[in-house]
Amino acid sequence: MSELYRMLAFRELGDERGNLIAIEGGQDIPFEIQRIFYMYGTDETMVRGQHANRNSQFVLVNVSGASTIRVCDGLGQEAEVRLDQPRTAIYIPRMIWKEMKDFSRDSVILCLTDTHYDPDEYIRDYEVYKQEMQKLVK
């Protein structure tokens, strides 16, 4: 079985002025960062993601608000994680199906990846994903 996810906890810095969290690629997360993007303004009824990536690893942080992250391997292993603290994150390895849902009104998800955007590495059809995963385990 492949690793579905790993929870990460970042060190909170700060003082009486407020909090600060620094995230360094290769140290606080298990890869060097090549791309950063964020999602916000998502209605609570929407489901985002709904894909797997052949080459990219991800770290997702809800820097504001909350959301639920569902991950699965297409072989029967799945989990859901609620992100609701800016000091915690979920690491998602390559070839893991991911969905983001149950967004709070103020949800902002920061996404860090180890690759530049390449639409050809995305698997957006769950049935195709399951077939590819079956081939990987044979």
User: Domain of 26?
Assistant: 6-137
In a domain, 21, yes or no: yes
In a domain, 64, yes or no: yes
pLDDT 10s per residue in the chain (138 long)?
A: 468 999 999 998 888 899 899 999 999 999 999 999 999 999 999 999 999 999 999 999 999 999 999 999 999 999 999 999 999 999 999 999 999 999 999 999 999 999 999 999 999 999 999 999 999 887
Catalytic residue ranges: 51
In a domain, 43, yes or no: yes
Report the chain's C-alpha Rg in angstroms: 15
Nearest C-alpha neighbor of 24 from the set 59, 53, 51: 59
Domain count of the fold of the chain: 1
Instruction: Give the domain CATH number at 111.
Output: 2.60.120.10
Query: Would you say the C-alpha torsion 110, 112, 115, 119 has a positive or negative sign?
Result: negative
In a domain, 86, yes or no: yes
Amino acid at 3: E
In a domain, 1, yes or no: no
